[in-house]
Structure 1
């Protein structure tokens, strides 16, 4: 999953989000269109012919060749690949605009897993027939991201879990036996590495801290990895706590003391990946897609991955990935359903794993000894996904993530203390559940 740029709102966010309780949604705080009731019946998928597939820009170069294979097999049902901007928030906005105008220009949508509930609640996507997909063979947390009110509204195409990339060669030269499991260990290990001549000018650690969806992910991971939570077991906001402050303080303090370079508050996924590959970072938090690309770079053979570190023990990733859905306003829905089945099959997702390091939804692929030998990060990735903490599943996710970005970025840039930022964020999110 690659998350990209967001436009933030003022602190007094007019939340129209609802937080999840056991996968269900509480009363919404307002609406931005649609009935919000979801769809009760499965759509009749009829019509065959050309369709479009709409997703963020393919930085891996693997999507179009896969579509070409489909088009060769289905010359009368060809798929046109529409690539949206690389930033996830811009993708979401364009998809919403298409839905609000009831346009048939978009057929199959590639949705960030946290958008599924929102799009289903507003009836922008159709309920899918579950029997068409081998859900029992997929990782349970991945399948849950594709459901809304018990119904399947998308098919899992890929998952995602954050991992800690680290320079094995430099840790070994510094006499460090393995990757760190806590933030304190990571800082201590980095201090040792930076004494090496080979590490001259290197910084310690970076993630994705620009004011966009990646900041929501990194903030949530820091809070969860310190024993806190963004929302409690009942779906209520719970960020004004000592544990949440410990998490945000790790990010804020690391920027202040130089553990995280100051330029990293402008980093998105690709910025961090390129910094790591060019030898500017000892440690990097990123998604699995970066593994295959790093293997083709100048640091090939000198890096590995581990679980994200936390306050006192290994931390927790945010759950990422993408689901494929059918626009409610599309034509040729029979073709669309067949195309989704093709794209989310075990064979196709295995190809994306091999060619682009995209995390597959199928459990067996993580346990295949032949694949593990070729892709040694698979056991780490599986644990990252199984222990990941979902971001809030909300009807209007944009409002919640904007509030998180606004306050976390204020703390990172020093315009607010961590304590004040969390207090303000708590108030923003409570407005949603109070109405």
Structure 2
């Protein structure tokens, strides 16, 4: 890639959200901000290779995008007599102080993730306005038609405008409650990429990278929040295993069978440093660890172990015990059951799993976990039936290939899942 192309790619990653957020504050219209920013990047793609990369790419993009927005508003004011828009165009009064640029992006995050919007709309808006993904990219990632995704985004922006959802950071009194929803959106994006439920790709790198990018952004904006740090650590530690997660033949490789030397050690180190920071903060009186901090701590323990057999499973069970108090969901309890099986044996693990049958009967990982425990107990016929059910429910070829191989292996083999 030539220098101009590299500069545009870097600017898109680092400046898109900043420019969209700044224009939204100035002009009060998400659509205008988004379209003007896209036009500014299109202009950069034409001019930078010819004229050279400007000394301050972010400033150039912000200025160009603002001019594009003013041009659009001027045309609209002339055609539709939008007096307020015209006032913005022609008013020479400097804008009032809005705080640091980071506050603009924080406002945009909380606007995109407002609880008045449906979760799918929050995800789509976050990826579009903060991640800079195209509508086509978002539609492809979530396996819907591009036109349908475009309508979803348009409706979300219209609802923000009609409901007069404020473009602001919530007050200190309710920021924690609102932040939980923001973190849920980012984690959903990550999981959709890392644990793809459908399609040919087991991992959708564009989504995992975007989620980590958003996590880093939140960490910059809210450096003292433990759950923000916990979520970023969790995503880093999980994503570090990506190079070992799919075999050369495209088959899923579960944690117990992965080549741990292939893990991204830089991501592991960064994630573990964040976990250690939060452990020290909690010890110093920062309050109890939250859901994401506990999940990050569990993954940090996995990252430290040379093998599945050498993992500190008793500590993982203890962490899951604390997590189930905060989040007693069936999936959390299923993951706890896996750890229990490593401490107390497959019979104890299976007892825990069987209590979740009603809640998780349609979830392929439930049947895969149950099948593995039945194998370890020597109940080959029941294990095969459970594998068959897991294969039936699995959403990707990589998952089905792995489960088929496990089903057809000799009963004595143990995956460590």
Greater length-normalized contact order (CA 8 Å, ≥ 6 residues apart): 1
Bigger-Rg structure (1/2): 2
Instruction: Return the structure number with greater strand share.
Output: 1
Q: What band does the TM-score fall into relative to the shorter chain?
A: under 0.3
TM-score by length of 2: 0.24
Instruction: Return the structure number with greater helix share.
Output: 2
